[in-house]
């Protein structure tokens, strides 16, 4: 519903400058359109923005993807140059696009342009060499580490440094107060599609403790900022045979109890499957069983929660605390509205 009214000079010299540098200097392969309108047209079907500026003026030959549920106009989006509406082509393309072509509202020339862009993306990413069910892998490259470190440092802005307090030299301070939950939990990336496996991360608290020593650090968690119960740290998870993580067993639907189709170890307690599954598992008809131990850092009552998109149950120490065999739990806001409301229970541990 937001319609940003911006004149051409301000738009190009101020708002679009970082994107222009990303396209022209860094050679970006992909761009995501925003939710809002710009000068009367949604970004996903904004001809001036996506076709005239991005492709014609900047020479961009990559793909444009909409933000989730951010595309609303089939003919307008094709004309502007939107390649992939999300969360999938069926939202405004697919049968909608076929009908628009048959009715003469969209030319085959514009459709072919979008197809050509996607074929170029497949070639660039070698997507045809890897099945959609491939397990995500992370490559530890020293050169990439150095580049990411430089980017992180260059992207940080010191707003104020009163009395030249920074940098804090080792031995120059007796105590350092570290406040807030984000000091202990490393926030290296966003959620959803921007969330990938990290090779290694060091929290602010751990980094400061290593640099200045545990005796110098005074940490307080403060107020929680989590909407839901926070994801469990992987170093507190153990499989039944003592490995770090939890055991994940994949079964055909309703065949739990026999030999699983596949067994993995996960260090994450949030598992998502967007129309895909690991090799050997039917992505549209499977059951997941996750088992393991949680090693609490302190004794007391711990909040245990479950959010699911289908049917499921949760047991703690042999006691069933959530049981929803028919997927009837009320829907909440997670997973684009398909997830259940959080089922939260306090468990003494």
Instruction: Identify any residues that bridge with 262 across adjacent strands, giving them in sequence order.
Output: 250
Question: Which pLDDT value is given to residue 55?
Answer: 97
Domain with CATH 2.60.120.260 in the chain: 234-348
Average model confidence (pLDDT) across the chain: 90
* Nearest of 251, 303, 296, 292 to residue 268 by alpha carbon: 292
- Assess whether pLDDT exceeds 80 at residue 190: no
The answer to whether the beta carbons of residues 121 and 29 sit under 8 Å apart is yes
Question: Which pLDDT value is given to residue 108?
Answer: 94
234-348 is classed CATH 3.90.1150.10: no
The answer to whether the beta carbons of residues 335 and 275 sit under 8 Å apart is no
Separation between Cα atoms, residue 218 and residue 323, nearest integer Å: 42
Separation between Cα atoms, residue 282 and residue 260, nearest integer Å: 12
Question: Which pLDDT value is given to residue 192?
Answer: 67
Q: Which helix (H) or strand (E) holds 146?
A: helix 142-154
Separation between Cα atoms, residue 50 and residue 64, nearest integer Å: 8
pLDDT band at 226 (very low <50, low <70, confident <90, very high): confident
Separation between Cα atoms, residue 305 and residue 228, nearest integer Å: 8
Where is average pLDDT lowest: 9-13, 172-176, 191-195, 320-324? 191-195
Q: Which helix (H) or strand (E) holds 314?
A: strand 312-316
Enumerate long-range contacts of 17-26, CB under 8 Å, 24 or more apart.
20/58, 23/54, 23/58, 23/60, 23/62, 24/58, 24/59
- C-alpha separations of 198 from 140, 195, 213, 244, 265 in Å: 10, 9, 26, 16, 16
Share of the chain above pLDDT 90, in %: 63
pLDDT band at 124 (very low <50, low <70, confident <90, very high): very high
- 54-107 per-position pLDDT tens digit: 999 999 999 999 998 999 999 999 999 999 999 888 899 999 999 999 999 999
Domain 3-129, CATH class in plain words: alpha beta
Provide the strand spans (E) within 200-277.
217-220, 237-238, 246-252, 262-266
Question: Which pLDDT value is given to residue 279?
Answer: 84
Domain with CATH 3.20.20.300 in the chain: 3-129
> Of the residues 57, 61, 67, 264, which is catalytic?
67
Question: Which pLDDT value is given to residue 292?
Answer: 92
The answer to whether the beta carbons of residues 237 and 294 sit under 8 Å apart is yes
Q: Reply yes or no on whether 67 is catalytic.
A: yes
Question: Which pLDDT value is given to residue 122?
Answer: 94
Q: Which helix (H) or strand (E) holds 319?
A: strand 319-324
Q: What is the mean pLDDT of residues 244-263?
A: 88
């Amino acid at each position: 519903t937001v319609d940003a009214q911006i004149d051409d000079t301000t738009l190009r010299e101020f708002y679009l400058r970082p994107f222009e540098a990303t396209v022209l200097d860094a050679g970006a392969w992909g761009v995501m359109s925003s939710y809002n309108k710009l000068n009367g047209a949604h970004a996903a079907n904004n001809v001036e923005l996506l076709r005239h500026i991005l492709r014609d003026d900047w020479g961009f030959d990559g793909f444009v993807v909409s933000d989730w549920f951010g595309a609303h106009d089939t003919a307008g989006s094709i004309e502007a140059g939107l390649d992939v509406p999300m969360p999938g082509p069926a939202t405004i393309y697919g049968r909608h696009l076929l009908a628009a072509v048959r009715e003469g509202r969209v030319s085959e020339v514009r459709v072919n342009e979008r197809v050509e862009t996607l074929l170029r993306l497949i070639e660039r990413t070698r997507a045809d060499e890897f099945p959609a069910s491939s397990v995500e892998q992370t490559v530890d490259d020293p050169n990439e580490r150095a580049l990411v470190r430089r980017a992180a440092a260059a992207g940080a802005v010191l707003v104020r440094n009163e009395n030249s307090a920074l940098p804090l030299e080792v031995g120059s301070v007796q105590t350092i107060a570290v406040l807030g939950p984000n000091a202990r939990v490393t926030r290296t990336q966003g959620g959803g599609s921007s969330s990938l496996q990290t090779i290694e991360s060091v929290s602010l608290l751990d980094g400061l403790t290593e640099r200045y020593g545990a005796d110098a650090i005074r940490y307080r968690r403060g107020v929680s900022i989590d909407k839901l119960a926070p994801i469990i740290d992987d170093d507190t998870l153990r499989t039944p045979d003592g490995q770090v993580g939890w055991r994940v067993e994949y079964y055909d639907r309703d065949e739990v109890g026999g030999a699983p189709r596949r067994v993995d170890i996960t260090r994450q307690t949030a598992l998502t499957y967007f129309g895909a599954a690991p090799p050997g598992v039917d992505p549209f008809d499977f059951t997941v069983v996750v088992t393991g131990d949680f090693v609490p850092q302190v004794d007391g009552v711990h909040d245990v929660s479950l959010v699911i998109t289908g049917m499921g149950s949760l047991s703690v120490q042999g006691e069933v605390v959530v049981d929803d065999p028919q997927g009837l739990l009320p829907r909440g806001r997670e997973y684009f509205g398909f997830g259940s409301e959080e089922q939260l229970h306090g468990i003494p541990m």
